[in-house]
Amino acid sequence: MPLNTKNVYSMQLYNKLSAEERRELIRAAGKERLTISFYQYHQIGNPQLFRDHLFLHWHPMDVLGRIYVAHEGINAQLSVPGDRFEEFKSFVDSIDFLENVRLNIAREQDNESFLKLKVKVRNKIVADGLNDETFDVTNKGIHVDATAFNELIADPDTVLVDMRNHYESEIGHFKNAWTPDVDTFRDSLDYIEDKLKDHKEDKKLVMYCTGGIRCEKASAYYKHKGFKDVYQLEGGIIEYHRQVTEQGLENKFKGKNFVFDHRLAEKISDEVIANCHQCGTPFDLHTNCANEACHLLFIQCNSCKDKMENCCSDECKEIIQLPIEEQKKLRAGKYNSNKIFKKGRSEKLVFKK
Ligand SMILES: [Zn+2]
Ligand SMILES: [Zn+2]
């Protein structure tokens, strides 16, 4: 990877456009963009330098998105102008450890899935709460494709576990999957281990997540904890969906796949398995409460959205009527707990399971 640090400091390394300005540009360009995600675990010596390298190449290509870089690798969700995809792909391939990495291309496109390019250096590429020093992270579970996965989950000795959070599995999951009602990945690891503690040797543990990244560590962790047969869905729900569509396989996923961009979800099957949290009507699209200080992630049908002005509660609806300055004063000094601890949970949501 050729890097010229001298040039780096004379070039733009951060966004200068606001989301609104970017939206205008995308609309004016009128070109189709592709929403793409990929990840790779790999030892990166200098994440900051690597981060700058990515930004300097992607910014001129008009790439937008949220990318995490750490000593352990890269996790990227981004969007690329369709006509620059080849250029983007050959740049990615020019990086040793990313050559031919699987690029998950979203099936439902949204030109405004991302409005900024944010490449951030983090301690980890997934906030998994694990102490990686305590187990062998490279001793992973067996990766299975959609065909093998369908066979495995039909086996009565299989326990199928959803490694995502409650607000993700609520709108879509595999038939007969366990969907632990937990708030963090770390909690779900303990919960599942405890529930299966007497079956570490006689059950097949099969896990899945959105794009596969969470299972990479989880499968190694469970093997370390004594589980004998551990499997993970290669490429997650996104790749499964691609394979069942392309190969005409039976689709065992019901509902929508929650995604981490502006689209919030991708349809995998026509079934609607969730309900509006305010009136209970079948509905499966998330929204964020319009009160910036609340921002609660919840499911709201269109008629509740009109009635509640996109708010989660009467309190929030009152607050958004106030002048912006008043709202800011109310917010000052207050900890925004919804964003951090109560993602998708509030006692005001009558129909939240
Ligand atoms: Zn409703
Ligand atoms: Zn609210």
Is residue 186 within 8 A of residue 129, CB to CB? The reply is yes
pLDDT tens across 36-48, in order?
Answer: 999 999 999 999 9
Average pLDDT value for residue range 249-263: 92
Per-residue pLDDT, 128: 87
- Percent of the chain past pLDDT 90, that is, above it, reads 73
Per-residue pLDDT, 13: 82
Distance (angstroms) between ligand 1 centre and the Cα of 347 equals: 16
Is residue 73 within 8 A of residue 42, CB to CB? The reply is yes
Q: Is the dihedral of CA 44, 163, 99, 90 positive or negative?
A: negative
Query: Is residue 293 over pLDDT 60?
Result: yes
Q: How far apart are CA 188 and CA 179, in angstroms?
A: 9
Per-residue pLDDT, 110: 86
Ligand nearest to the CA of 278: 1
Ligand nearest to the CA of 300: 1
CA distances from 341 to 10, 36, 292, 317, 335 (A): 40, 28, 16, 22, 11
Distance of CA 185 to the CA centre of its chain: 12
Confidence label for 208 from pLDDT (cuts 50, 70 and 90)? very high
Distance (angstroms) between ligand 1 centre and the Cα of 309 equals: 12
Average pLDDT value for residue range 113-141: 92
Distance (angstroms) between ligand 2 centre and the Cα of 180 equals: 25
Would you put residue 210 in left (φ > 0), alpha (ψ -120 to 50) or beta? alpha
Query: Is residue 9 over pLDDT 60?
Result: no
Confidence label for 341 from pLDDT (cuts 50, 70 and 90)? very low
Per-residue pLDDT, 342: 54
User: Can you tell me which residue has the tokens 């303990």?
Assistant: 190
Distance (angstroms) between ligand 1 centre and the Cα of 275 equals: 8
Candidate list 209, 215, 289, 316, residue with the active-site label: 209
In this prediction the pTM is 0.85
Query: Is residue 194 over pLDDT 80?
Result: yes
Confidence label for 331 from pLDDT (cuts 50, 70 and 90)? confident
Tell me the average pLDDT of the chain: 90
Average pLDDT value for residue range 213-231: 95
**Beta strands 117-121; 64-70: pairing state:** parallel
Query: Nearest 10 degrees: CA dihedral of 47, 51, 57, 58?
Result: 130
Query: Is residue 12 over pLDDT 50?
Result: yes
Phi, psi of 245 (to 5 degrees): -70, -50
Determine whether 209 is an active site residue: yes
Per-residue pLDDT, 10: 55
Confidence label for 333 from pLDDT (cuts 50, 70 and 90)? low
Ion ligand 2, residues whose Cβ is below 5 A away: 289, 291, 294, 296, 312, 316
Query: Is residue 90 over pLDDT 70?
Result: yes
DSSP run (H or E) holding 265: strand 265-267
- Beta strand extents in 28-168 (DSSP E only): 33-41, 64-70, 73-81, 104-105, 117-121, 142-144, 158-162
Phi, psi of 22 (to 5 degrees): -65, -45
Q: How far apart are CA 147 and CA 157, in angstroms?
A: 18
Ligand nearest to the CA of 314: 2
Per-residue pLDDT, 339: 46
Distance (angstroms) between ligand 2 centre and the Cα of 247 equals: 43
pLDDT tens across 158-170, in order?
Answer: 999 999 999 999 9
Distance (angstroms) between ligand 1 centre and the Cα of 273 equals: 14
